[in-house]
Amino acid sequence: MLNFYDVDISYANFLRKFDTRVPQIKYNTNNKFVCGIVLKIDKYDYFVPISSDISRKQTSMLIEDTNGRAIASLKFCFMFPVPSNLVTIKKLANIRKTDQAYAYLLKIELKFCQKNEKIILQKAQNIYKIGCNKNHVLNYSCCDFLLLQQKYDEWVKAEVVAI
């Protein structure tokens, strides 16, 4: 079942050195978070960022509230692989203690994602293929998924060496 996660900021910053389309995680108010696991390619678990941008794009999917209004989006073109030890489940109960309105919004978004899991997993797979096909007209808008997988491997290898 899909869930929301926080990603290790230093890992995301590492990936951004090689592909600036990887989203910035650290913000002044609420940090960027991701939905996952939306795609498994070999050993790579992909997570898709949630965005407040509600403009329609072919490489995104709008998240709707119970009235069918767009309130956020899943940015599949910016999804990236993350090692399991660098993501933590977003605890809505903890958020509710300090910001009930934000926790309620996240709850609505999460319910939408869980309800539409099958569509989300298929969309992730389709966008991954676009991002790996340099000849596709929408490739320019996607992260370089194959490069990010190489950098994932470099990160993991450096982590093992450091231990």
Is residue 115 within 8 Å of residue 101, measured between CB atoms? Answer: no
pLDDT at 30: 83
Residue 116 identity (one-letter amino acid): N
Helix and strand totals (H; E) in the chain: 5, 7
pLDDT at 139: 94
pTM: 0.95
Q: Over pLDDT 90: what percentage of the chain?
A: 93
Phi and psi at 138, nearest 5°, equal: -100, 5
**163 pLDDT tier (thresholds 50, 70, 90):** low
Alpha-carbon span 154 to 129, nearest angstrom: 23
100: left (phi over 0), alpha (psi -120 to 50) or beta: alpha
pLDDT at 161 over 80: no
CATH fold of the domain at 3-162 = Thiol Ester Dehydrase; Chain A (3.10.129)
Q: Over pLDDT 70: what percentage of the chain?
A: 98
pLDDT tens digits, 5-17: 999 999 999 999 9
Range 108-113 average pLDDT: 98
Domain boundaries in the chain? 3-162
Average pLDDT, the chain: 95
pLDDT tens digits, 45-94: 999 999 999 999 999 999 999 999 999 999 999 999 999 999 999 999 99
Query: Which residue carries 């933590």 as its tokens?
Result: 88
